[in-house]
Amino acid sequence: MLLPIGASRPEQVIPFANLVKWAGAARLWQGQGMLLDSHQVAGWLAGAGIRVPCGFGVSLMPYRSPYQAAIEARSVALATGQDVVAGFGPGSLAAQAGALGKPYASQLGACREYVGIVRSLLDGQIADVPGDHFRVRAKLVDYHRPPVSIGLGVLRERMAELAGEVADVAITWMASASYVDEVLLPALHGAEERTLPDPVKVTAVVPVALAAPGRKVSDLVNAACGTHIQYPHYQAALRRAGIAVTGDGDPSDAVKLVDGGAFLYGTPQEIHERLAQYRALGVDEVVLNASGVGNTLGPRAAAQDLLAILNAAPEGGRRS
């Protein structure tokens, strides 16, 4: 499950971490922390005695050097004693220009170099990369290899192909099951050369909300997805999935996302029927994203939705 709120105090994360610890979820995921840094939140939870598997999907590359990214991922693994999925993505062109002064000359090239550097550092090697985007010659302090899987955020085919070559995990966002099946999985498995011994795993981050009296689905969808669908690269991915959105707050966008399977809305049983489609495709991990509820109705409502969905999980699906 994804942390569904932008926490301003680490104590606000405890109920959601406890859902992972006690309610059958497999991992606590966080996106890019814009108030509290996500890795520091995980470290704080560990210090409070709440040590759960963590995922970061995705941390934006322009905001941290690959060296710092490797330190953060290893720190969380050591502090929690649990496995970590460290997912990365280049972010929008505007984010790159704002943090770096200009966008990456090649989105795929920057991701390839970044992931390679992080992997070398976590493997205890000297990362010696005189790259086009990153120039690094560095090594972490020697220690055993932490249980960290490296992920890439995947929206479209070319990034999926790259993830199929260099990542442990491909992390999809707002991707319907049909889009995963028809577009992303063929690209992942059609990568020219896999550099790792194990096959790439797939994690699907899926926005969800329970239907209830007084709830307006357009508000929930806009709170979870409204910012993302303003960006051209998200709109392009959605169009490829047959979902043409305006990104300007038009209520019809919400209807299109729900009808297209990119946002799951309904009873717990109806949501699990749609989640079962991901399981049937062989998706390794589905992440419940209740941020639409958290951002409109508050953390208590989001926690209640997540608990209801977890409790309704079919046999064998509670930790997937």
At residue 251, the pLDDT reads: 86
Query: Does 219 map to a domain?
Result: no
Q: How many whole angstroms separate alpha carbon 166 and alpha carbon 175?
A: 21
Which stretches in the chain have pLDDT values below 50? 320
216 closest CA partner among 143, 161, 112, 293: 293
**Residue pLDDT, tens place only, 173-190:** 999 999 999 999 999 998
- Count of domains for the chain: 1
Bridge-based pairing of strands 135-138 and 127-130 is antiparallel
**DSSP calls for 116-144:** HHHHHHHTT--EEEE-SS-EEEE-PPP-P
Q: How many whole angstroms separate alpha carbon 278 and alpha carbon 294?
A: 24
At residue 316, the pLDDT reads: 53
At residue 172, the pLDDT reads: 97
At residue 180, the pLDDT reads: 98
Query: Does 135 map to a domain?
Result: yes
At residue 77, the pLDDT reads: 98
237 closest CA partner among 151, 178, 157: 157
Residues 159 and 202 sit within 8 Å (Cβ to Cβ) = no
Burial of 8 (C-beta count, 10 Å sphere; 0-12/13-18/19+): exposed
**Rama region for 207: left / alpha / beta (φ>0; ψ in -120 to 50; rest):** beta
φ/ψ (deg, to 5) at 145? -65, 120
Q: How many whole angstroms separate alpha carbon 191 and alpha carbon 152?
A: 14
**Three-class SS of 213-242:** CCCCHHHHHHHHHCCHHHCHHHHHHHHHCC
Q: What is the DSSP code (8-state) at residue 49?
A: T
Query: Does 59 map to a domain?
Result: yes
Distances (CA, A) of 216 to 14, 26, 52, 253: 28, 30, 33, 13
Q: Which domain holds residue 115?
A: 10-207+278-311
Query: Does 267 map to a domain?
Result: no
Rg (CA), the chain: 19
Query: Does 16 map to a domain?
Result: yes
What is the residue type of 265? Answer: Y
159 closest CA partner among 178, 139, 184: 184
pTM over 0.85: yes
Distances (CA, A) of 119 to 150, 232, 290: 7, 30, 31
At residue 312, the pLDDT reads: 95
Query: Does 145 map to a domain?
Result: yes
CATH code of the domain containing 22? 3.20.20.30
Three-class secondary structure of residue 6 per DSSP:
coil
Tell me the two tokens of residue 36. Answer: 């509290």
